[in-house]
Amino acid sequence: MQVEDMRLDGNAAAGTLREIFALDVTAALAQCACCGTVAPMGALLEYGHGMGVILRCSSCEAAVVRIARTPGWIRLDVSGIAFLSIPDSPASA
């Protein structure tokens, strides 16, 4: 099985993201800090594994969001996001 077959969309991480953010961020627009591409978080490429989630840019494959679970902690690295625009109602999405 190819690693490419394993990848999902950022949408698949929506439940985990809702544990962290007060709003749904899968429709939010994230600008990749590496290449500047702007895309909905739900359209990022998700690579899940036992300990957490990595969301990668669909253009340059840089890690945009990293979420790791360790006992008692959720650890979030969003240094791959230069700017995040979050719709505050479904109608704006």
Partner 1 sequence: MIPEVSTTGLTPPRLEWRVATVARVHDETPRARTLVLDVPGWPGHRAGQHVDVRLVADDGYQAQRSYSIASAPESTSVALTVERLSDGEVSPYLCDALGVGDGVEIRGPIGGYFVWEVAQGGPLFLVAGGSGIVPLMAMLRHHAAALASVRAGIPVRLLYSARTVDDVIYREELAALAAMPEVRVSLALTRDAPRDWAGFRRRIDRAMLEEVGWPATEMPNAFVCGPTPLVESVATQLVELGHDPSRVRTERFGPTG
* Residue 83 near residue 90 (C-beta atoms within 8 A): no
Binding piece for partner 1, criterion CB under 8 A, among 49-57, 67-75, 81-89:
81-89
Nearest approach, Cβ of 87 to partner 1 (angstroms)?
8
Compute how many other C-beta atoms are within 10 angstroms of the C-beta atom of residue 56: 21
Of residues 83, 65, 58, the one with CA closest to residue 14: 65
- CA terminus-to-terminus distance, the chain: 35
Residue 72 within binding range of partner 1, rule CB under 8 A: no
**Of residues 11 and 34, the one with the C-beta less far from partner 1:** 11
Interface positions with partner 1 (CB under 8 A): 1, 4-12, 14-15, 18-19, 22-27, 40-43, 87-91, 93
